Amino acid sequence: MSAVPIALEMQNVSKSFAPSGWNPLKRAARKPVVAVSDVSIQVRRGEIFGVLGPNGSGKSTFIRLISTLLVPDTGHVTIFGHDILREERAVQRLINRVSVEAAFFKKLSPIENLMYGARLYGLGGADARAKIEAILKRLDLRANALNQPMEEMSRGMQQKVAIARALLTAPILLLLDEPTTGLDPRSKREVQTLVRELRDTHDATIVLTTHDMGEADALCDRIAIVNDGKIVALDTPAGLKQLVARNGKEPTLEDVFMQLTGKQLVTEA
């Protein structure tokens, strides 16, 4: 056993889906889509772990499996030593999942959203409210924004409020599915700073997915490069770059990715 505890362990985890448009009456059904294929990883407490891959490579499925939204076909997942299937309630208190499309209840205010989160974690009453006000202050929310519907806030701010739920409890495994996709450069940096702060000051372990090579390089302690549901490489950003030789020039993660997958990673403008 290593000295640092393991926050997340996945052992031989696989998940397939029936192909879309699948018709059980048609014999010549197409093959199932293997979204996650025999994945085994260990993420240490306090790590920022990145999952980098192209569209359809299985990143969101990977996050949904860890967050108990999907049940693996095979394999085991444990979070701080708790099996996600046998100890679902314990696990749900130890994780906070944030996805791009579901940044909470958009008609509710930040305070209401975090109060809901607090109840989910079994916190209540005046204590919870004081804690939530302190958290929102930390995000530099204007006082009058605290009670406005989330949908009236910028996307970057919505994302920060959603992530801030992780400040309600500790330790926490924070699962971020493309936390900065579609954000402007400034909001992107703010979200990245918040993620780092959560790790540094709040006993958070972070697993995030991204298309963004620069983000993975700057933010992650280790990165798993995934392609067609499989991990094709797993190392520190520096370790990954050592995998490719580039006569004299320092390789980029883009070079590593191309060499390992034969694909170019689609990034947004």
| Site residues for Mg ion per CB under 5 A | 59-60
| CB-based contact 34:192 (threshold 8 Å) | no
For residue 184, give the 3-state DSSP assignment. Answer: coil
User: Amino acid identity, residue 165?
Assistant: R
Which member of 6, 8, 10, 58 binds ligand ATP (CB under 6 A)?
A: 58
- Range 33-52, binding ligand ATP (CB under 6 A): 33, 35
Told to check if 22 binds ligand ATP by CB under 6 A, we report no
Q: Which two tokens stand for residue 99?
A: 């996805």
Q: Which two tokens stand for residue 7?
A: 């926050």
* Smallest distance from ligand ATP to CB 130, Å: 37
| CB-based contact 37:230 (threshold 8 Å) | yes
Told to check if 67 binds ligand ATP by CB under 6 A, we report no
CA 43 to chain CA centroid, nearest Å: 12
Nearest to 106 by CA among 153, 163, 69, 145: 153
* Smallest distance from Mg ion to CB 241, Å: 25
* Smallest distance from ligand ATP to CB 62, Å: 7
- Range 145-174, binding ligand ATP (CB under 6 A): none
Which member of 59, 160, 222, 230 binds ligand ATP (CB under 6 A)?
A: 59
* Smallest distance from ligand ATP to CB 33, Å: 5
Task: Give the total of residues touching ligand ATP (CB under 6 A).
Answer: 12
The interface partner of residue 205, options being Mg ion, ligand ATP, none and the CB cut-off 5 to 8 Å by kind, is none
Told to check if 57 binds ligand ATP by CB under 6 A, we report yes
Q: Which residues pair with 121 in a beta bridge?
A: none
- Distance, in Å, from the CA atom of 217 to the CA atom of 50, rounded to the nearest integer, reads 9
The interface partner of residue 57, options being Mg ion, ligand ATP, none and the CB cut-off 5 to 8 Å by kind, is ligand ATP
- Distance, in Å, from the CA atom of 183 to the CA atom of 114, rounded to the nearest integer, reads 22
Characterise 58 by phi-psi region: left (phi > 0), alpha (psi -120 to 50), beta (else): left
* Smallest distance from ligand ATP to CB 18, Å: 7
- Distance, in Å, from the CA atom of 50 to the CA atom of 176, rounded to the nearest integer, reads 9
Question: Judged by CB, which is closer to Mg ion: 59, or 188?
Answer: 59
The interface partner of residue 180, options being ligand ATP, Mg ion, none and the CB cut-off 5 to 8 Å by kind, is none
Of 39-47, 55-63, 142-150, 234-242, which segment contacts ligand ATP by CB under 6 A?
55-63
- Distance, in Å, from the CA atom of 12 to the CA atom of 76, rounded to the nearest integer, reads 7
- Distance, in Å, from the CA atom of 68 to the CA atom of 234, rounded to the nearest integer, reads 23
Q: Which stretches of the chain bind ligand ATP, using CB under 6 A?
A: 17, 20, 33, 35, 53, 55-61
